[in-house]
Each structure stands twice: as structure tokens, then as C-alpha cells.
Amino acid sequence: MAGIDAKELPKIPEEDVEALKAAVGKGNLPEAAAKAKEALEMVDKITLNIAVTGESGSGKSSFVNTIRGLEDDDEGAAETGVNETTMEPTAYPHPSYPNVTVWDLPGIGTPTFKSDKYLEQVGFSRYDFFIIISCTRFTSHDTELAQEIQRQGKKFYFVRSKVDQDLKNEKTLYDEKGILKQRKAATKRPHQYSESAILSAIRENCINGLKAAEVTSPRVFLVSRGDLGKYDYPKLQETLVDELPGHKRRAFLRSLSNVSKETLEKKKEQLQTQIWLKSLVSCGVAAVPIPGLSTVCDIAILVTSLKEYCRDFGLTENALATLARQNNKPIAELKAVIKSPLSEEITKDLIIKLLTKCAAGAVKYSTYLLNFIPVVGSVVSAAVSLPTTYFMLKNFLDDAAADAVRVLEVVMKGDVSN
Ligand SMILES: Nc1nc2c(ncn2[C@@H]2O[C@H](COP(=O)(O)OP(=O)(O)O)[C@@H](O)[C@H]2O)c(=O)[nH]1
Ligand SMILES: [Mg+2]
């Protein structure tokens, strides 16, 4: 690293170096690029199957749509508010990430229901984890099922749905100033209306019920179908991501709705770890010289990569239109805070422009790169092309993530109840 000014150059994170070295191995550049391509494609092949279960009417189908980022009346959404009559689970692949499938399970709690039989009937082995939903206290059906899932060695999470309704109901007991109307109810309720106190009471109530049914260390997440950025939905997303094994985590993380800054940050971190691999692929077999630059790379791959970043961060015309509609805002208000190009604006010409901006810095970087990945030197052009594409991808990813945070801020600001 001698002669390199550390201030000018971002350090390559340790795990990226490892990933890059592993991809390169002792092979030559085309081989290394092929390996990197394989490693990246692995992520798309990983499947994740999420089971959503609970009693009939608890909000299962609505929650299935939630995870898939759909409104109930969108095309392909699970039908809600209908009575379930079959014992057949229904598969709903995520519309943008079809390797993630959410399964709408039949309602538990029918007279013939037996938790062990139920799991067998719905194909227990298929699922990575279970979401057990209830819109009231969890019943013995829910807890028996949880215990059976635990016995069979899988994870489950309790979701308490429709908390918006609870809050609304409680509110009727208070006057416009938020003061409790009836003294009679005062024993259990605070004098002053408090959303957080109501939510805590619901959570505590659920947890105590589960403990009484001998569920060990139960966790309950409060959600409302219409307010994913609020209550415990962001925390649920985080928990699920954290508790999945590494390769599944990657697949799941990409599919998450962008409802919190934490989720956005995690997505960004995750995507960052793949930038070196992507750069390597772009410098591989299909690389061609870019006129006017010393860069030799596969522009089509870069177009795809940037479009993927946009998709992951909701920076497409479609995603923004949906978000605007859901939040009752003009789309222009969301677009006003976006500084980088949307998916639809990503063309080969744009990539060349972006590469040109990164080329000067990258030349300095090539010496450093050659020190630890000598194989890159086997194709002289790659020593410059690799860092050029790396910086281009990295800058774009950083900008897209920052845009997504700003869009989220606009959406959250508009929610007066926040
Ligand atoms: N207010 C409110 N209603 C909900 C929520 N989740 C579901 N519902 C409604 O509850 C009813 C039953 O939901 P559904 O998803 O069909 O339940 P399932 O029978 O368990 O699949 C439907 O009318 C939903 O619109 C929520 O978070 N808040
Ligand atoms: Mg249903």
C-alpha cells in the first residue's frame, strides 16, 4: 500500500477483499469473473418460504399482501375478508423477488384442528419460519401450534394485527382534549389518552397470555395493515432479517418494503458487499473498450446492476407512483428529493458518463489493487477498469440509498399521527 494516500481512497472492507480473493483464487481474469458471476447468481437461486398462519379473520391474507408490498386490491394480491374452506396453503411469490414466497395458510381453530396434524397437512418442512397472527389475544390454537413448531425445530413470530382498530376504539372513551370521559373506566386506563400506553398494554396482555400457555420467551409484534412504518412492523422486519441464516438473509432483505431507515441501511450494507464481485464480472469475458476511456467493461451488466439498485430502493416510476398514491401525495413531492436517476433513466450513455466521472480516481487505485490481486494484472486494462466500475457502482448505490432515505422522510413527515 506504499505510496497510496489513504485519505483519497476508500479502504476496501475486509470481507470484500476476502470475497474478491476467493473469486479470483489462482485463476486468470476470465475464470475469476465467471466465479464472481456464479457467486452473485447464487443469491437469486436461494428460495425463502414464509408461512402465515392464525385463525380465520385474523388478518393472514392481508399480512401476506403486506410482506409482498401489495395493496389488497392490487392484481395478484391474496383475497381478504373471505372465509377459508380448504386445508390447502396458497403460494404467493413476491412480485419483484419471486424467490421469496409467502404462503397463506388455512385458518387454524376449526373443530377438527390438531396442531400436529395441521403442520403435517400444510407441509411443515417447506417453510423457513412461521408468522402466527391474531387480532385479539392469542388462543390455545395459536399457542399449541407455536409449541409444535418449536418442538420441530423452527422459528415462529407472533403478530398482533389490527392495532389501528384498538387505538380507534380506545379513543372513543376520551374527549377531544384526550381526557378520559368515564370515571368508571379509570381504574384500568390512564386519565390522559396515550397511544404508547395502549400499545404497551396490548403487548403485555399478549405476552402474559402466551407465557401462561407456557410459550418460552414469546415475542409479539404489533402491526396495522395501513401503517407499516409505525408500531412494530419495522422491528419485525429487522428481527426476521437478523435471525435468518446468512444466505437466506440476503434473499429476504432485498424483498423488504422500504418502511424504515434501518431497513434501508441494512439493504445498502448488504449490496455493498457485492460491488467488487459485480465489478469483476463486468471486467470479464464480455468486456469491451469504452471509447474515450481506458476502461474495458461490460456495460449491459452495469445497466442491470444500477436498475437493480433502483428497484431495491423503490426508485422506479411505478414504485414511486404507488407510494404517492398510498400516502396521498403528489408524486412530484417525492421526486423533488431524489437526486440520482430513476430506473427508467438508466441507459448505456448514462453509464459511460458515470464511468468517466470515476476514471481519474480509479487510475490511482489500480496500483493498490494490483498489490493484492495480481491476477487482475494479467489483463492490463482490468487494473483500471475494475476500480473504475467499483467506484461507479459504489457512488450510485450510496446516492440511491440516500435518495430512498429522503423519500421515506417525506412520506413519514406527511403522516400527522406520527
Ligand atoms: N383495521 C384493520 N383491518 C384489518 C387489518 N388486517 C386485516 N384487516 C381486515 O380484517 C379482515 C380479515 O382479514 P383477512 O386478511 O382476510 O384475514 P384472514 O381470514 O386471516 O385471511 C379483512 O376485512 C381485512 O381488511 C389491520 O391491520 N387493520
Ligand atoms: Mg384469508
CA 133 / ligand 2 centre spacing (Å):
11
Give the pLDDT score at 382.
Answer: 72
Give the pLDDT score at 277.
Answer: 86
CA 116 / ligand 1 centre spacing (Å):
26
Give the pLDDT score at 9.
Answer: 47
C-beta 27 within 6 A of ligand 1: no
Q: What's the residue count for the chain?
A: 418
Sheet of strand 220-222: strand arrangement: 90-93, 100-104, 48-54, 129-134, 155-160, 220-222
Residue ranges covered by each domain of the chain? 14-43+258-413, 46-255
**Buried-exposed string 185-220: b where 16+ CB fall within 10 A, e elsewhere:** eeeebeeebeeeebbebbbeebbebbeebebeebbb
Q: What cell numbers appear for 225 in the block? A: 395493515
Our mutation pick for probing the ligand 1 site, out of 62, 86, 168, counting the most ligand atoms within 8 A of Cβ, is 62
CA 67 / ligand 1 centre spacing (Å):
14
Count of alpha carbons within 13 angstroms of residue 341, beta-carbon side:
17
Q: What cell numbers appear for 314 in the block? A: 423503490
C-beta 80 within 6 A of ligand 1: yes
Q: What cell numbers appear for 417 in the block? A: 399521527
Give the pLDDT score at 384.
Answer: 77
Task: Give the tens place of pLDDT for each residue, 36-73.
Answer: 888 888 878 899 999 999 999 999 999 999 999 999 99
The pTM (predicted TM-score) of the whole model is: 0.89
E strands, 231-309, are 288-289, 296-297
C-beta 230 within 6 A of ligand 1: no
Name which residue sits closest to atom 4 of ligand 1, judged by CA. 162
> What angle, rounded to 10 degrees, do the helices at 261-272 and 382-413 form?
170
C-beta 160 within 6 A of ligand 1: no
Give the pLDDT score at 289.
Answer: 80
Contact between 331 and 320 under an 8 Å Cβ cutoff? The reply is yes
Residues of the chain with pLDDT under 50: 1-9, 418
Q: Which fold has domain 46-255?
A: Rossmann fold (3.40.50)
Give the pLDDT score at 11.
Answer: 56
Q: Compute the C-alpha angle 228/234/238, nearest 5°.
A: 150
Give the pLDDT score at 39.
Answer: 81
C-beta 60 within 6 A of ligand 1: yes
